[in-house]
Every structure is written in C-alpha cells, then in structure tokens.
Amino acid sequence: MRRIFIILGSLLTVIAQASNNRTLDTIYANEHMNMALFFPSEIKQGIVGNSNFVFTYNREKQQTLGLLKAVPGKDSNLLVITDDGSIYSYIIRYAKELQYPNRFITEPERIGTERQGMGITSRKEVPRETVRDSSVPVKRVGEKFLESCDALLRLPKRKNIKKKTKGLSLAVTNMYHMENGAYVQFEVRNSSGTQFEFGELELYKVSGERARKASFQELELMPIYKHNIPEKIDHGQTASFVYVLPRFHLDKREKLRAVLSERSTNRMISLKFIDP
C-alpha cells in the first residue's frame, strides 16, 4: 500500500510540474532537528519518496504543522495535499546543519489543486492588517503573508530583547528570515496604569553612534505587511503582532532600532537589537 501511495505521489508531482513548468524548491532536513513546515491550510496527506525521510503530521486532528526529519541518503520528494485541495511539492535533501529549522509555506508555492480551477476557502478576518507598499494589492499580499504570521504567533518565544520605560514594555520575541521576507514578532505590555493608544512602530537599520555624527547612519525599513496590530492596549494587557519586511542583511557594526510611539501623546519607547 505504501508503494502505491509513493507512486501516486510521484505521478501527481510529475503531472503538476508538467502543467506548471516550474522548478521545485528544496527543503533540507536531518536527524538532529525537526524541520517544522507550516502550511496555509490543514494537512490532509503527506508523502515522501523514500525511507530515509520521514514526514509526520496529526492525522487525527488536522493541523497546519508538519515535521520533516532525515538520515543521510539520496534526495527525494515531498508531496503534501492540504484540506483546501492545494497541492505542494518539494525536493527534499539531507543536510548536516539547518540554518533555519522552520519554514512558513505560502499559497503562491502550491503547484496546483486536486480539481483544476478549484477555489480557496474563505479566510478569517484579522484586525488591522496593513500593507505599506501601495503598488501591491492588499488582497494579494494578505493571502501571501496572513497564514505565516498566524503560525509565527503560535510559536514559542525564542528571543526576549526588551526595553521598558514608564510602565510600557517593548520586546522582540521572534525573528525569522524566510524566502519571501523577514518576519519580526513584537510584544507590547502595558503596566503604566493608563490605556495605551497604539500610534506607530517604526523600524530602522542603524550604523555608528548618534554622538559621532560623521559616522552615524539610520535607514528606515519599510514593512511589506503588518499583522494583528492593536488599536489600544489596556493596563495589564499584552499585545503581540508581526511586521513582515523585505529580506535584509546587517553588517557587523549595524543594529536594528524599533521606535514605538503613542497616538496623540509624547510617550515612546526605543529598542535596539541585532539580527539573530
């Protein structure tokens, strides 16, 4: 039975590739770490091509998370069908080291659907999603990043870079570089005794020191997408949200600076941190 599924998976992959004429991306895995793959919709079926790769997912209660592991051996392929009928196919390869053990799969990566022309199911609305680049349609950008941002908010916090002033705390709790952008998860906690009205959070690439004006440079990084931005944060509450930025690189002497300001007041927090 497993051989039949493998053959079926290979055939589906070949057919989809022929119709789409596109090169498959490669996903790397090893035996020491879980390569976590987050899909835009719940996983219905996942198939690998040979026995040195294992792809696990929750078969009883469908989830968007799948885990890929591997032992040394030949390259293979991974075929995943999600609950909305989307088909995803990747080359999978063993690697001794994994640079990024997480990957957020987006809908544009799908190679086809189970039924040609099948539409995507309706999505839930998330408050205050914004797109900074007005040349890109909001709907298209939202479809590309929404599921990845939701998945990031469900991940455990792996960073805790924090700045606190006057009862307000700004923290960076996760940061990932993916193929389609850099994802930065922020957390704001309000223990100031009064409500905080969210104004703007601006992000800059900084080199040098402000005291040395000749060597100081500051470049604003414009977000492609903002996810789950709060309007207000009451006393005692915490809000988490995500900025998606174009991929960028920091030199050794460069840092990132986040500046959070309140609407209609002069309250603000400035936090410096480095890329992971």
- pLDDT interval class at 4 (50, 70, 90): very low
* pLDDT (average), residues 58-73: 88
Architecture of domain 154-273: Sandwich (2.60)
- pLDDT interval class at 253 (50, 70, 90): confident
CA 155 to chain centre: 10
Residue 30: per-residue pLDDT:
92
- CA distances, 49 to each of 7, 18, 31, 73, 220 (Å): 8, 19, 17, 12, 45
Query: Does the pLDDT at position 147 exceed 60?
Result: yes
Distance CA 82, CA 42 (A): 5
Distance CA 172, CA 160 (A): 6
- pLDDT interval class at 248 (50, 70, 90): confident
Please write the tens of the pLDDT for every residue from 11-28: 444 444 444 455 788 999
Residue 160: per-residue pLDDT:
83
Residue 184: per-residue pLDDT:
93
> Which residues of the chain are in CATH 2.60.40.1150 domains?
154-273
CA 224 to chain centre: 13
Residue 69: per-residue pLDDT:
93
More reliable by pLDDT, 4 or 113: 113
User: Among 2.50.20, 2.160.20, 2.60.40, 2.40.70, what is the CATH number of 2-113?
Assistant: 2.60.40
Do 239 and 230 form a contact (C-beta atoms < 8 A)?
yes
